[in-house]
Amino acid sequence: MTKNNFAVETRGLRKSFGSVEVLKGIDLQVERGTVYAILGPNGAGKTTLVNILSTLIRPDSGTAQVFGLDVVHDADKVRGMVGLTGQFAAVDEELSGRDNLVLFGRLTGYGRKAAYARADELLDAFDLTDAAYRHAGKYSGGMRRRLDIAAAMLVMPDLLFLDEPTTGLDPRSRNGVWDIVRTLVDRGTTVLLTTQYLEEADQLADRLAVIDGGTVIAEGTAAELKASVGSGTVHIRLTKPEQRALAEQVLQRELDAAAVRLHAEPASLSAQVSDPELAARLLTELSREGIETVQFSLGQPSLDEVFLALTGRPAEEEKEENVS
């Protein structure tokens, strides 16, 4: 067992189902104590990757280590350190929420009393006390997701896998899950999550990898990825709305006829810029023409734009793709 700084390290990970090659050589390094997001459209292989890392399925070739332990050869030890909340809730629908936690608690090794105590405090912290005695099969999606995360928290894992933890949740529930992730990271757990929401990766992740078609097509911090795409948006609000036509001309001239967007609000306009230095020159040009601005800001591209630039497709459209 080699000591290293990585919670997860994979090399050339491959996996096929029949003739379908799902992972075509994945190399990843996740540092301890960080949140790492795997981003990708439907069918990209996110769940397959998470299942390999959490020892549920075996890779065809390549290696994967969790805290320096091989997920195939040291599967039992790895299981002792990781928690998994899969894409589809792994709870017993015919038992109440409380009984679910007691069941899993007992199977984790808690004594009877300790299992009930742990179940009750988890129910309380995850806001499930009112539904404690209802069958988990009757829970709403958000409640089931919380129960599933709570089940992964019976003993604190050193590494937690969350496979699309907020898909199908309303914004409030999503925020709740984000709180949980942040709390976990504060106390030192490493979190590896998959998501289709770029905002989620942006909000939570220290680093992220975009996978598409079974390979990593981009890796880095959200800022790095955005910078690598190399374009941002400049937002301008004018003091005098009547100067907007003039401002538009200046923008078009300076930015080589890049698309300038006129907003519904009469004093606002925005445009894509490929180079931050251009934006600085723009500001000078505007004041030289006597155009006063209330607001002049340079925004980074959104991850949506990044995704589009990387895959040639917008992130949202992918959702319809996986019908076959």
Partner 1 sequence: MSTNQPKLLRVLTVSSHPNRPNALSAVLTFTWRSLKKTVSQLPYMAIDVLIFPVIFLLIFTFMFGGAISGSTGNYLQFLLPGMLVYTVTTMTVYIGISIKTDIDRGVFNRFRTLPFWQPAAIIGTMLVNLLSYAAALATTIAFGLLLGFRPEAGLTGALLALLLVIMYAFSVSWIFACIGVVAKKTESITSMTYIVLYPLMFTSNVFTDTSTMPDWLGPIIAYNPISLASTAARGLMHGTATAQDLITALAGMALFILVFAPLTFRLYRQKAKQ
Contact indicator for 213, 293 with CB cutoff of 8 Å = no
> Per-residue DSSP letters for 95-154?
SBHHHHHHHHHHHHT--HHHHHHHHHHHHHHTT-GGGTTSBGGGS-HHHHHHHHHHHHTS
Nearer to Mg ion, 47 or 302 (CB): 47
| Binding span for ligand ATP by CB under 6 A among 45-53, 185-193, 220-228, 262-270 | 45-53
User: Site map for ligand ATP, 48-67, x if CB under 6 A?
Assistant: x-------------------
Single-letter code of the amino acid located at 90: A
Alpha-carbon span 268 to 85, nearest angstrom: 44
> Please, which residue, 111 or 276, has the CB nearer to partner 1?
111
Considering only 40-48, 131-139, 180-188, 256-264, which stretch makes contact with ligand ATP by CB under 6 A? 40-48
- State whether residue 11 is helix, strand or coil: strand
Q: State in angstroms the smallest separation of the CB of 40 from Mg ion.
A: 9
- At residue 197, φ and ψ (nearest 5 deg) are -95, 120
- For residue 307, the cross-strand partners are none
Radius of gyration over every alpha carbon of the chain, rounded to an integer in angstroms: 24
How many residues sit in the footprint of ligand ATP (CB under 6 A)?
14
Between 43 and 301, CB nearer to ligand ATP: 43
Q: Encoding tokens for residue 224?
A: 């790095």
48 binds, among ligand ATP, partner 1, Mg ion, none (CB under 5 to 8 A by kind): ligand ATP
Angle at 203 between CA 198 and CA 206, to 5 degrees: 100
Nearest-angstrom CA–CA distance, 244 and 262: 9
- Answer for which of 107, 259, 262, 294 binds partner 1 (CB under 8 A) is 107
Part of the chain binding Mg ion (CB under 5 A), chosen from 83-91, 113-121, 196-204, 253-261: 83-91
Instruction: Tokens 């007691």: give the residue.
Output: 102
Quick count: other Cβ atoms within 10 Å of Cβ 92?
16
Q: Which of 14, 32, 106, 235 binds partner 1 (CB under 8 A)?
A: 106
Contact call for residue 146 and partner 1 (CB under 8 A): yes
Asked if 42 touches ligand ATP (CB under 6 A), the answer is yes
What are the residues facing 219 on neighbouring strands?
A: 209
Q: Minimum distance from CB of 121 to partner 1 (Å)?
A: 5
Q: How far is the CB of 17 from ligand ATP (least distance, A)?
A: 3
Chain positions 15 to 34 lying near ligand ATP, rule: CB under 6 A, are: 17, 20, 22
Residue 124 sits in the site that holds partner 1 (CB under 8 A): yes
State which of positions 86-115 bind Mg ion (CB under 5 A): 87
| b/e code 33-55 from CB counts within 10 Å (16+ = b) | bebbbbbbbebbbbbbbbbbbbb
What phi, psi does 225 have (nearest 5°)?
A: -65, -40
- Residue 99 to residue 112: CA distance in whole angstroms: 12
Q: Does residue 54 touch Mg ion according to CB under 5 A? A: no
Query: Taking CB under 6 A as the rule, does residue 40 contact ligand ATP?
Result: yes
Q: Is 93 in the site for partner 1 (CB under 8 A)?
A: yes
Tell me: does residue 314 bind partner 1 (CB under 8 A). Answer: no
Binding site for partner 1 (CB under 8 A): 54-58, 75-76, 79-80, 82-84, 86, 88-95, 99, 103-104, 106-111, 114, 118, 121-122, 124-127, 135, 142, 146, 151, 153, 155-156, 172-173, 175-177, 179-180, 183-184, 186-187
Binding site for ligand ATP (CB under 6 A): 17, 20, 22, 40, 42-48, 87, 196, 322
